[in-house]
Every structure is written in C-alpha cells, then in structure tokens.
Amino acid sequence: MNYPFEVEPLPYAYNALEPYLNEEILHFHHDKHYTAYVVKLNELVGNYPNLQNMSLEELLIQTDALPNEAKTSIRNNAGGVYNHELYFACMNSPDCELPTDQLALAIQATFGSIEQFRSAFAAAAINQFGSGYAWLILSNGKLEILSTPNQDTPISLTVTPLLCIDVWEHAYYLQYQNRRADYVENWFNLINWDFVGARYMSLMKEVR
C-alpha cells in the first residue's frame, strides 16, 4: 500500500469485541484517531512526489529518504497508521482459542509457558510510561517483548512485530478510565491467535 493511503475498515463489527471493548471505543478509535493519522499522512506525503511510490513500511524503515523538515511528522503519522492497522487486525471476537501451533511452541520455548508470556507482555503494556504500545516481535527468528512510546514502531528497528496492544488512553479510557491494567487483562481475551500464528509462520519461512 502506498500513497494515497486508505482507511482500512475494521475486520469485524464495531460491537464484536464486547464486553471487553465496547462499540463506542471502537468508533472513536477507528473512525476518529486512526482515520486522522491516514488523512494527515496523505496530506504530508502529498507534498513530496518522490515519496509517493514508497509503501507505508518503507516510509518507516527508509527514514533517510524523508525530507528533514517533515521527517518527524511523516514518521509519527506513518507509525500511527501502521500501528493501528496491526492492533485492529490482532483482535477478534472474544474468547479466541489459545495458540496450539508452531507459535505456541515458540512462546513456550522462549517464555516458559503461555501464562508466563502473558505476564511479561502485560507488564510491558502496563509499565509503558505515557502513551505507546507493547509488542511481541520476531528478531532474527527469536521472539521478544518490547514496548515503544507514542507511535514509534518496531519495524523502524528492523525487527518484525507479530502482535501489539495500544495503551494510549484513547484505546480504553471511555470504558476503563484510568484502569489500564484492567484493560490489558481483558484484552487478552480478544487476541486473534489464528492471525498472529499465520503471521509468525509466514515470517519464519522468510528467516529460513
């Protein structure tokens, strides 16, 4: 996908994630916040014809190609688009099955168990200072957990994200107020493990 970037629709109904994330939050998050990043990114890239054939990922990885006067704004808004699209794709209707495939084996080998992964991931999300994300990433074929501030994205660090949770307040405040830990705990019921597992397998084929 490259310029002009388009708003991707949610892959489910606005009420599909209830009771863990309500319809009101998804309307605000997707239709207002995410959409604003797409609009602003198109506005910025529209000023630079030499950037208009670059994909979203290339804008975030090949930052040396960005004009100095717009580099920060383009990176922030491209990150806002990329991060939100992965966040929405990583969720599905409540009570998804836990992974039982090669990803499950990799999680167990890396973190000890699914529950230990969950604890470590929750800690990264809850302890991220201010706005940002927690991520499960693939780095040189190995799973890792990290957090990033604002709209920074792991692909700018040349690692590949598999899963992310948005811990900006707009992702949960209308329902959870300041209870980020409750939001994170409930969010685990929404992970689309089929999507994450397929993403893992596809990336591992590239590594091999």
What local confidence, expressed as pLDDT, does residue 115 receive?
94
The answer to whether residues 148 and 131 touch, using CB atoms and an 8 Å cutoff, is no
What local confidence, expressed as pLDDT, does residue 5 receive?
98
Q: What is the mean pLDDT of residues 144-161?
A: 94
Helices (H), 14-169: 23-26, 35-45, 56-61, 71-89, 102-111, 114-126
Residue type, 13: A
* Angstrom distance (rounded) from CA 171 to CA 203: 28
150-182 in b/e burial notation, b at 16+ Cβ within 10 A?
ebbbbbbeebbbbbbbbbbeebbebbbeeebee
Question: Backbone dihedral region of 132: left (phi > 0), alpha (psi from -120 to 50 degrees) or beta?
Answer: left
Q: Domain ranges in the chain?
A: 23-89, 102-207
Q: What is the mean pLDDT of the chain?
A: 95
The answer to whether residues 51 and 4 touch, using CB atoms and an 8 Å cutoff, is no
Q: Residue 151: pLDDT above 80?
A: yes
Q: Residue 208: pLDDT above 60?
A: no
The answer to whether residues 78 and 59 touch, using CB atoms and an 8 Å cutoff, is yes
Q: Residue 95: pLDDT above 80?
A: no
The answer to whether residues 134 and 164 touch, using CB atoms and an 8 Å cutoff, is yes
Q: Which of 131-135, 165-169, 193-197 has the lowest mean pLDDT?
A: 193-197
CATH top-level class for 102-207? alpha beta
What local confidence, expressed as pLDDT, does residue 101 receive?
82
Tell me the helices (H) and strands (E) count for the chain, helix number first: 9, 3
Residues 23-89, CATH architecture: Orthogonal Bundle (1.10)
Q: What is the mean pLDDT of residues 127-149?
A: 96
* Angstrom distance (rounded) from CA 150 to CA 146: 13
What local confidence, expressed as pLDDT, does residue 38 receive?
98
pLDDT grade, residue 204 (50/70/90)?
A: confident
For 133, the token pair is 């994300």
Q: Output the DSSP codes for 173-186.
A: HHHHTT-HHHHHHH
Q: What is the mean pLDDT of residues 134-160?
A: 95
Q: Residue 149: pLDDT above 70?
A: yes
pLDDT tens, position by position, 45-85: 999 999 999 999 999 999 999 999 999 999 999 999 999 99
Q: What is the mean pLDDT of residues 164-188?
A: 97
What local confidence, expressed as pLDDT, does residue 207 receive?
62
